[in-house]
Amino acid sequence: MSIHRIFRPLGLAAVLGLAATGGFVLAQGDNPTQGLAPADESGSYEVSGVEVDVTGKSADQARYAGWRVAQRKGWQILSRRLGGGGALLSDGTLDGMVSGIVVENEQIGPNRYVARLGVLFSRARAGSILGVAAEATRSPPMLTIPIEISGGAAVGFEQKTAWQDAWLRYRTGNSLIDYIRPTGTGTDPLLLNFGQTERRGRGWWRVVLDQYGATDVLIPTVSLRREWPGGPIIGTFQARHGPDNRLIAQFTLRVDNGDALPVLLDAGVKRLDDAYQAALRNGALMGDAGLAYVAPVATPTPLEQPTDLASPGLDGIAGGTGATAGSVVTVQVDTPNAASVTSTESALQAIPGVQSAVTTSLALGGVSVVRVQLEGEPAGLRTALESRGWTVVGSGTTLRIRRTASAGANSQVGSADNTTG
């Protein structure tokens, strides 16, 4: 078995992806000169803090055996958490269910492996075995702008900060909040800076949110105070929400070593996510009416001379203009690459009643916006998308769609149906 090791100070989490057979291990590293990509958002079940202490004939065999033990212990913990009996499964079944191993802290000897690990289980496969629903209801898409205050300066995406990296490291798949986490590249420093969080004008906020396919904004803030260089660090964390920068929750954490800053920030992100989820359950994350999409009002062009409403048709029968009532719907969709843009437009155009589907805001690797002109009401488009396997969030003339496992196949079927009428 080939193992690629990854070393990070203070045992920071490193996600090691496992192939379906469990026979090969991949490690992901970060380029410090580039923006980090958000961590796993697949919605895997995560079991953290699994302690293992295993020996083997070599360091690699001990490490592999430790991961095997972590899978078994993690499954028992997850099974009990979701109401199962905690019965053990075979290693082959677990290999097909585990989507990743998170190394929280590890010590590797010549023939001994001591570690604290996290285990990621596929939500669909684990849910089918435990008899729980694989899908979970989440919030509307929330643009996340982390603000770090240190040394008297408040920084958003103007420059790279440890606070941004902490939010990008955090796996949000199990959260009820649909975070949209920019990477800090492109136009992010211009649009998502500290000054933007102090603006209250809803008009400009609507423009910014539309660029990222979001309907609301979250502003997690941390204020760092260092007792002395290399000494204790005290962080005051605040969960803020909306254009009015409304405070939801606040708490303070401390570490005794200056090198432990990433550990402090990771703990702060986890508690802020818990605070946002609690606010969502309590109804405190209600959307701002001023951020709702405002459809443009068509202004009729005056004619030089009045014309009759109806003109004589064949054999003197009055004929209409033949125009039918329609509507325009704004559709937000994840577009990881150029091919996904084309396939999404094709899938939308294949739906009966859709006259056109044009991408008006392109964001490769992010959320693009497609303008859909259709005959009839927007509710019909939502029903048609759901019947083809898409996950649809939103209402009215603004929809957010996501691909599911069956969306691609259904889209092709829908295209064939539309062609044949």
Instruction: Name the token pair of 79.
Output: 């099974």
CA distance 309 to 417: 37
For residues 158 and 127, give the distance between their C-alpha atoms in angstroms, rounded to a whole number. Answer: 42
Radius of gyration of the chain (CA): 26
Q: Please state which of the ranges 12-21, 77-86, 122-131, 225-234 shows the lowest mean pLDDT.
A: 12-21
Distance CA(364)–CA(371), nearest Å, equals 17
Residue 127 CA to residue 131 CA, distance in Å, equals 6
**Residue 186 is inside which H or E element, if any?**
none
77-96: per-residue pLDDT in tens?
A: 888 877 777 678 888 888 88
395, amino acid identity: S
Q: What's the pLDDT tens digit per position in 283-295?
A: 888 888 777 766 6
What is the model's pLDDT at position 118?
Answer: 85
Q: Is 97's pLDDT higher than 70? A: yes
pLDDT at 279: 93
Report whether pLDDT(351) > 50. Answer: yes
Give residue 164's pLDDT. Answer: 92
Residue 63's pLDDT band (cuts 50, 70, 90):
very high
For 243, which DSSP code?
T
Q: Rounded to an integer, what distance in angstroms lies between the CA atom of residue 126 and that of residue 115?
A: 24
Task: State yes or no: pLDDT of 414 exceeds 80.
Answer: no
- Please report, for residues 227, 251, 260, 333, the alpha-carbon distance to residue 234 in angstroms, rounded to integers and kept in the order given: 8, 11, 11, 40
* Tokens encoding 336: 């990881």
pLDDT digits (tens, 9 = 90+) for 133-162: 655 667 888 999 999 999 889 999 999 999
Give the DSSP H/E element, type plus range, for residue 58.
Answer: none
226 vs 235: CA distance, rounded Å: 9
User: How would DSSP label each residue in 259-324?
Assistant: GGHHHHHHHHHHHHHHHHHHHHHTTTTPPPGGGS--PPPPPPPPPSS---SSEE-GGG-EE-----
Cβ burial, residue 390 (10 Å; 0-12/13-18/19+): buried
The residue type of 35 is G
Tell me, what's the pLDDT at 14? 36
Contact status, residue 372 vs residue 328, Cβ threshold 8 Å: yes
Q: How far apart are the first and last CA of the chain?
A: 54
